[in-house]
Amino acid sequence: MESAEVARRFLKFFEENGHTVMPSASLVAEDPTLLLVPAGMVPFKPYFLGQRTPPAPRMTSAQKCVRTPDIDEVGKTTRHATFFQMLGNFSIGDYFKEGAIPFAWELLTRPQAEGGFGFPEEKLWVTVLQDGDKVDDEAIDIWHNKVGVPLERIQRRGLADNYWHMGVPGPGGPCSEIYYDRGPEFGREGGPEADEDRYLEVWNLVFMQEMLSEVRSKVDFDVEAPLPAKNIDTGMGLERMAAILQGVDNIYETDTLRRILDRAAELTGTRYGSDGRADVSLRVIADHVRAGTMLVSDGVRPGNEGRGYVLRRLLRRSIRNLRLLGGQDAGLMHELTDVAIKAMGEQYTDLIRTAANIHTVIDAEEEAFLQTLRTGTTIFDTAVEETRRTGGKVLAGDQAFKLHDTYGFPIDLTLEMAAEQGLKVDEDGFRRLMTEQRERAKKDAREKKTGNLDVSVLDELLTSAGGKVDFIGYNSVHGEARLVGVLVNGANVPAAGEGADVEIVLDRTPFYAEGGGQLADHGRIRFGNGAVVDVHDVQSPLTGLIVHRGRVRVGEVQVGDQAQAEIDIERRHAISRSHSATHMVHAGFRRALGESAAQAGSENSPGRFRFDFTASGAVPASVLRDVEDEVNAVLINDLDVRAFHTSIDEARSMGALALFGEKYGDEVRVVEIGDYSLELCGGTHVAKSGQLGLVKVLGESSIGAGVRRVEALVGIDAFRFLAKENVLVSQLAEQLKTRKEELPERVSGLVTRLRDAERELEKLRSQQVLAVAGSLAEGAADVNGVAFVGHRAPDGTGADDLRKLAVDVRGRLRGRPAVVMVAGAPKDRPVVVIAVSEGARERGLKAGALVGLAAKTLGGGGGGKDDLAQGGGADTGKIGEALAAVERAVGAA
């Protein structure tokens, strides 16, 4: 039974039993305390806590999940994986144990021909909670008396096994786990307590009934209170279930992962099962490529922080393991990503639709990392040389961290390469620095999203607002409202006085919260008692919650006060023009470059916008001009701009563009600009395209692997830019005594003559530098039997000339052990080049090590080969000290 069929049967069974099928939420967690969704119940957490009204009391889903705490174990075992799918059924205050247990038993034991999984009843064991004298007798009674499981196949286990929580404050409760007996060939008898390799957990039924306030460990936590209602949360790992139903030993041999694994083996000329180390690499590749593909599909981009860091690490571990297996060529990740898309596409059709965008992102990351490997290897060699020179046997933690943080070098690659050189790595120091960096990144991301608020406070505000703040800003720029929450320094307070910095929540508001690339509205909130709050930012840290950040300018505001909310109309109009212009430029680029030019981010600010999109390379200037011309030609037609709500399926059938990586509900808002642009969008827009006035594209640039950024002006800002440009062109034409239309040719001629003159000057400078080579060789000092030349070239001498001079002098000392050091300051920063003859190398003198010594004196770094190396620094005043340090090192050899 294929994985897609396992999911289909599960969802169909529960749909037939009154459950609403919920689509998988994005891997990008809505919960601000989480980077990614780690469990199937996460999207349902607000319903369990009573914070939101569920769409139905009974629900079921197949949820995408990613867990990375054990990423280093992936591949080493067949149990660990980063991406997995969790099948679950959920009851919010509807049925409890008496319903969940029979449902699970029926689906597992129903014959496959009748839509079940066909497990023999005698192969199934169950566990229930027993914590001290506390035994889940209710579950035991249902399992034994209602379902018919013999008591000898019901085992009682402690909190570590049969109590479930998320590891953080939140909902929890006792659970009952169902195990499948794979047979005596897999281990000893005695049920799950005896051997969990033989008895494999297939389903966990969580009886969620408690709110936990503190969670110190799996078994050490505080129960704050009962949940508002008793709930059911179950989790069945799709991959593990597929392994059992497909008769394979582990998840890596199931249909989806095995397809990726086999293709990786084929591309690298290996065979799974023939070599232990190769098998580890193949499992890493299969898991990480699938996980990376799913993350990119949900809009995550490779980066150095947060989710981007998780994705980058997964992709780079894949590439690195491909290279370990002999896969040196670029393009291997493209092949494997294609297999992953096809393997998962039946369950997640968006993968097929956005395949070109996924390939663009992953291909670019592969290309960037292959270059990183080349650069990082050189830096690693220098670090090894420096460690050996000082007699050390351990590569410093800060050096390993620099390799990782600056050059993207994986720590496991550093460890392996160091071992090959007979060195160890200070892993504790490295991991300490990594932990510090990640904590900073998490803190920054959390504070940016929540305004440094405690999440429980956000939940309180959302409850005070009735579960959702009513946004009226599409049709109104002002409106009456009631103040339902006030925060000062993150604390919920009943009132705030003049001068206080506040975060306030109204029951309804015209203020647009920053989102979808659109900046927040500014404005004022006036109260009946004369108090006024100036609003300078608006955020939505939780779905449905709108928080106004500002300062009380006059009077005192109190919870319950009536208010009049007024946005800055001019700012709103300017931002709306930018947002509509972004839609049109997006449409223009897709017409010019194809569907792979998918929006990957934007910022719509007053009079200016930027638009990020996926692309494999730079966009030609001619394309930029064509898109700009097309958009402005369309503006003249003054197209109607219309926004309306419809179903996601209807929107797609109309051809509405869903942004790559964004996830939408059943009902969506569509923004239509005539017949030119049709997109799903929650932002504000102009009424007619002619209101944009003018769009001026300023240029484009790279902002990361596979992502380009276009910046542009709109409206009066675009006009002012062009007016200023016209003045500058007029001034330049007057200076050069030529007509405006002849400026390009005239400037080109001047640039050509200037370059010719610079080349001639460079030639003369080079000749002057090399002219001293003979005298330097003749004046070489004898340092412990080695001819040593230490020379400081005139400031401004280029690095190429320094290298030529060092090599020339070394050549004139042919037949003698010689070390030639030439230093200079080409651009107000010191550069040092050292050339070492064969005779000196035989005495243990190496250019790379000597350059490292000199560069350290200069406050920098460097490296190279044993015969020729180059380095640099920051302190030109220490060139003399660097020359002396190298001479001493030569003398000590």
Distance CA 514, CA 684 (A): 11
Calculate helix-pair angle for 238-245, 255-268, nearest 10 degrees. Answer: 80
Which string of DSSP letters, residue by residue, matches 155-221? EEE-HHHHEEE-SSSEEEEEEEEEEEE--GGGS-SS-TTT-TTTEEEEEEEEEEEEEEEEE-SSS-E
- Binding residues, as ranges, are 579, 583, 681, 685
- Locate all alpha helices (DSSP H) within 246-393, ordered by sequence: 255-268, 276-297, 306-324, 332-344, 350-353, 355-389
8 Å CB contact between 539 and 547: yes
8 Å CB contact between 892 and 883: no
- Residue 864 region by backbone torsions, left for phi larger than 0, else alpha for psi between -120 and 50, else beta: left
Pull the structure tokens for residue 37.
Answer: 């969704």
At residue 717, the 3 state secondary structure works out as: helix
Pull the structure tokens for residue 799.
Answer: 């690095």
At residue 22, the 3 state secondary structure works out as: strand
Strand pairing category for 547-554 and 557-558 = unpaired
8 Å CB contact between 835 and 884: no
Distance CA 28, CA 30 (A): 7
From residue 581, alpha-carbon distances to 613, 636, 684 in Å are 15, 13, 12
Dihedral of the alpha carbons of 715, 720, 722, 728, in degrees to the nearest 10: -170
8 Å CB contact between 180 and 119: yes
Which string of DSSP letters, residue by residue, matches 71-104? GGGBTTBSS--SEEEEEEEEEESS--HHHHHHHH
How many CA atoms, within 13 angstroms, populate the side-chain half-sphere of residue 792? 12
Residue 460: burial class (beta carbons within 10 Å; 0-12, 13-18, 19+): middle
Strand pairing category for 695-704 and 781-783 = unpaired
8 Å CB contact between 165 and 223: no
In this structure, the number of other CB atoms found within 10 A of the CB of residue 252 comes to: 23
Pull the structure tokens for residue 275.
Answer: 């070599």
Helices (H) and strands (E) in the chain, counts: 26, 36
Question: 505 has which bridge partners?
Answer: 485
Distance CA 131, CA 129 (A): 6
- Binding residues for Zn(2+), as ranges, are 579, 583, 681, 685
At residue 49, the 3 state secondary structure works out as: coil
Pull the structure tokens for residue 118.
Answer: 């066909």
H/E element, 891: helix 879-892
8 Å CB contact between 597 and 613: yes
In this structure, the number of other CB atoms found within 10 A of the CB of residue 268 comes to: 22
8 Å CB contact between 386 and 372: no
Question: 86 has which bridge partners?
Answer: 63, 237
Q: 3-class secondary structure for 806-864? A: HHHHHHHCCCCCEEEEEEECCCCCCEEEEEECHHHHHCCCCHHHHHHHHHHHCCCCEEE
CB crowding 620-656: b at 16 or more within 10 Å, else e: eeebbeebbebbbebbeeebebeeeebebeebbeeeb
Question: 558 has which bridge partners?
Answer: 495
8 Å CB contact between 856 and 828: no
